[in-house]
Structure formats: C-alpha cells, structure tokens
Structure 1
Amino acid sequence: MERPMIRRTFIRFLFWALILYTAVSATAVLGVQFGLIPVPPRKIAAADNQAAQKGLEAHFSERAFAEQFVREYFFWTKGKESSRAERLSPFLHNNMDVQAGLDFKQADWESYARYVAAWDIKERPDRSGVIDVTVFAETILTKVGNAKMQKRVDRYMVVSIKKVGNSYLVADTPYLVAPPVPSSRQLPEGQDEKEQGEAVNEEIRSQVETFMKSFWKVYTTGEPQEIAYFQKNSTPTAGLKDILQFMDLKNLSVRKQGDVYAVTCDVQLKDLSSGAEMAYHYTFDLVREGDRWYVVRMGQGEI
C-alpha cells in the first residue's frame, strides 16, 4: 500500500510542477511582449547599427567640408587677396599658406565655382587619419578687365582633410589631378545587351514595328487611359504628352524568348519646349494574345 501511495504522490507532484512551469513561462512571455519585464538591448546589433550610422555621418560631413572648401578655393578676384584668405582661414591649419598654395596676383582670369561635387573619398592606409577627398568643380573664369569674356573650366582637385574635434581641417596643400576616365569604352562583361532568344520572321517583326509606332504616338499624345490600352496590366499610366513629340523609330530588333518578345529600338523624339531632337534607346518586353500586342515591360522605367 505504501508504494502505490508514493507513486501517486510523485505523479501528482510532476503534474502540478508542469502546470506551474507552463504558467510561469506564459506569464514571462506576455510580460516581455507588453514591456512589463525589461529586457537588455541586443548590444551587438545596436553597436553595428551605430557604427554604420557613424560611417554614413562621417562621409556626409567629409564631403560637405571638402565641397565647401573647394568652392571657396576657386573663388578669387584679382586685388582681393585678403578677402580670399579670410574666407579660407576656417578651413586651414595654422602652418598652412593663407592662400592654400595659390598665387593669383599675376593671373589674367578671375574665378568662381558654379558647381562642386565630391567624386571620391579615400582614407590613407598609413593610419594617419588623413582622408583624401577628390572634388569635381565646374568653374567659370572671367577675363580681368573684360567681364563679357568668360569660359568654363572643369577641374578635379584632391583635398586632404583630417578630423579635429567636431569638424575638419585641410591637412595638406590641395592639388589638381587629371579627370577620371574609364579604362575602356567597352562595358564590363555582363553589362552589354546580349541578343538572347530566337530571331523572328519578317511578318512578326513588321507587326511589332507597327505596334511600337502606334504605342509611341499614343504615349506622346494620349491620356493615361489611352496608354493603358497598350499595356498588359491595363493600368492608366502618364506618358510624355506636352513634353515630347514622337518622330521616328529606328534600329528595331525583335527576338522571341518563350512567350515574350524582347524588343530593342532607338526612338527619335522632339522636345516641345525647345524644338531640339533627341534619340533614346529603349527595351521592351511584349506579349501577343490573338492579334493583339501588349507591353509587359518598358526599359526606361516609365511603365
């Protein structure tokens, strides 16, 4: 009799222990979910996010500082050296030349920067903390003594900067560099348009050409509901009405890829505001249902 009693007591104990564990676990989950029980933050994730944020902020500030300096650097008026030195002073450390290495006393042209933009930002590998910022500057030069004689000169300048407190200082004399150029006029492998799929016969090509010309006429003159008639999803889409006029369609290529017809073409358009003509390259995906053609995708992104 004693052993069955002990066994029943043990089973009862396990049962109530399981009930208690379930209740405590559920309460803890609800407490965390509703904020009743504080949970330590995920320090690693937070640290990563903070580091990424600081990196972005650093690039923004580095770029802004370098662009502001370059704008002031390329702004000079003959005979006003002291004014330029005063404007450059907040950017330069104490041992730098007050004109940042530029002597324009004998210059035949005066200058200002119409547009500046950072092109590249690189931290020096020597752990000096110096950052080289390459800045593009579109400058306008005005002939001294003849304000009507002007010319545009584009320049690329490397500005070496270093963090000091909450801002930066120019760490070394800025210098001009050659404009960056691509190593080749050929796009890297995988970027070129490659003909894929099978060629179509002349009848299909003629149908596509007729459809594309009709599409472009409506796309440049029609309302969104009219353009929707040409789209597979029938979604009203704003076109180029009152902006461009369709002139011609050239270099049409059509290849069949499964049920889709991949189309590339050059479209001659006229700017209605100026009368200037421009040629744009487009890619389309078309589908045919019966004797109807529809646009599925338009390469320039309007559809």
Structure 2
Amino acid sequence: MERSTISRKIARIGFWGLIIYTALSTTVVWAIQLGFIPVPPRSVVVAGQSEKQAAAPALSETAFAEQFVREYLFWTQGKEESRAERLKPFWKPRMDVQGGIDFEKSKWNSYTRNVNVWEVKGRKDQSGIKDVTVFAETILTKADDPKEQKRVDRYLVVPIKKAGATYVVVDFPYFVAPPVATLPKEPEDQKEEKGTNVDEQVHGQVEQFMKSFWKVYTTGTPQEIAYFQKDNQPTPGLTGIMSFQEMKNLSVYQEGKEVRAECDVLLEDLASGAQVINHYRFYLVQDGERWYVVRMEQGEE
C-alpha cells in the first residue's frame, strides 16, 4: 500500500514537471521570436574566406587606377596646363604634374578608349604601396592632321598608396611589356594519339562526305542535317547565319571503329560579309557505303 502511494506521487511529480518544462520552453521560444529576449547574431566562418578577401584587390583601388590612367594618357598639344589640372588630385605632394612626360616633341595627341586593371600587387617592404598594372587601349591622332589616327595598346604600372578615403600616385607610372602566355608542357604519356592515317580511297570518301555535309549544314533544315547524323536527330545548323566557302587542311585518322577527320573551314557571315576560319574535328562511322557524323567539335585541342 505504501509503495503504491509513493509510485503515484512520483508519477504526479513527473507529469507536472513535464507540463511546467513544456510551458517554460514554449514561452522562451515565443519571447525570442517576438524579440523580447535578444539573441546575439551567429558568425558564420567560411573556410578560406578571410584569406581570399584580404588577397582580392579593393574595388576602390581598381577604380582609382583606371581613372588616373584615363587622364594620364589623355593629352592634346597646346593644352598641357589642362592636363596638369586634371592630374593634380591624383599625385602625392610635390610630384611633377605632367608625370614625367615631355610633350615638346610629341607629334600625336592621345586619348583612351578602354582601360582595365590587369593586376594588383602589394609590395613586400610593408610600405603600403601597391603596384597596379593597367591595360589601356589608346587612340593617337596626328596633331597636324586629325584624320590620321592609329590604335596603340599599352600596359603600364601605377604605384598607389592609401590616403584617407582615397589613394595617391606615389611615383611616376612606367610602361611594361604585355603579358605573355606560357603553357605548361603536356606530359608525353598524356598526349592524345591521333590514330593511323587512312588510305587514299577512304580519305577521298571522307573529303566528299565532309563537303556535302558543310553545304547542307549551312543551307539545309534540321531534318536535312539529321540525314548526315548517326543518331538521325534533327540538328540546327548555320542556315541563314553563315555560308560555306571552303574546307582546307583535311586530315583523316582511323581510331578504332571510328574515323577522326580534322579540317579548317572557311565560312562567310551572311550579315556582314566577313569571313571567318575555324578548326573542326569530326568523328565518323561508315555503314555500308554511307558515312555518318557521330559527333563534331570546334576549336583546337
């Protein structure tokens, strides 16, 4: 009897404890949702984010450098004072207002058409100076004959430093050679095999097929182009966009059950009359006396 009474008391205590806990939890959740209990915002850290942000050039740096280069490469004979006034806000104190350029023997006037920052590098000497490489497309006009013009592309490095809410140019800009692409050498064991050369008969068959394909690809309907495809799927070509002019430098290789055909194709833009040459690769199969395109790719390997 005594044990039964104790068990009922424990059950009552557990029941009312659960009711109170549920009520308190619900109250706290609603208080947070309604803003009665402030919760500090959680900071989410993305791996590597801070390093990337530190390394990335600031938008203000690129904007300042581009604005400066537009003014620096803009001059007109006899209006050197106007150029000096435009450049004055960019220089640090006591800098030559013309930036080291002497126009006495200049025969050309200059203005910029396109300016883009190419690279921003901070110096390792802790000076706070950054060297900003800028590409500028300039148009030079003959001073004594405004009809004579020429385009000159330049790369120049502009040393800048933070100065309050903006920047200043701390030294004369200097011209540098354009960047040159250097591609890593492809390992010998990763070079793609071109297969074996086909005989003259197969080469001639592929050549005739390719010429027929290009004529239909630039004049036919998707259904007509599908006739040349192995999967027989309607394919939009270049009809109404380009006309076929010539196919050159055809090379044909046997690669397993497929034949690989590489060629340069000269096309003419119907809208402008301009001609463009592109490199193409075709993978072909023969079924009886007919040839079919399995897939085609554009561009060099």
The TM-score with structure 2 as length reference comes to 0.71
Among all aligned residue pairs of Structure 1 and Structure 2, give the percentage whose two residues are the same amino acid.
51
Q: Secondary structure at the match of 2:69?
A: helix
Aligned to 1:264: 262
Deviations 1:3-28 (A, max 9, x none): xxxxxxxxx9xxxxxxxxxx9xxx9x
Matches within 5 A, 1:172-251: 172-181=171-180, 188-190=184-186, 194-196=191-193, 198-199=195-196, 201-202=198-199, 203-231=201-229, 232=231, 234=233, 236-239=235-238, 241-251=240-250
Query: Does 2:117 align with 1:118?
Result: yes
Shift of 1:173: 0.8
User: Aligned partner of 1:63: which letter?
Assistant: T
Match of 1:104 in 2: 103
Comparing 191-200 and 291-300, the one that deviates more: 191-200
**Alignment partner, residue 6 of structure 1:** none
Q: Render the CA deviation track for 1:130-189: whole Å, top value 9, x for unaligned.
A: 221222223222222322233333322111122334433222110112333456xxx532
Between Structure 1 and Structure 2, whose CA radius of gyration is higher? 2
2:163: which partner in 1? 164
In structure 2, stretches of 5+ residues that fail to align are 1-10, 12-21, 27-32
C-alpha contact 1:286 1:293 (8 A) present in aligned 2: yes
CA contact (8 A) 1:116 1:138 kept: yes
**Cα 1:142/1:188, change in 2 over 3 Å:** same
Counterpart of 1:254, as a letter, is: Y
Per-residue deviation, residues 260-282 of structure 1 (Å, max 9, x unmatched): 54432111223334544443212
Paired residue type of 2:62: R
Which letter does structure 2 place at the counterpart of 1:201?
V
Closer/same/farther in 2, CA of residues 197 and 247 from structure 1, 3 Å limit? closer
Give the match for residue 138 of structure 1: 137
- 2:23 paired with 1:52: no
Aligned residues: CA RMSD: 4.7
Contact 2:262 2:280 in 1 (8 A): yes
* Count, aligned residues: 290
Q: Given the alignment of the two structures, is residue 129 of structure 1 paired with residue 128 of structure 2, yes or no?
A: yes
1:152/1:286 CA distance change after superposition, 3 Å = same
Greater than 6 Å deviation, 4+ residue runs: 38-42
Q: In the alignment, is residue 76 of structure 1 matched against residue 75 of structure 2?
A: yes
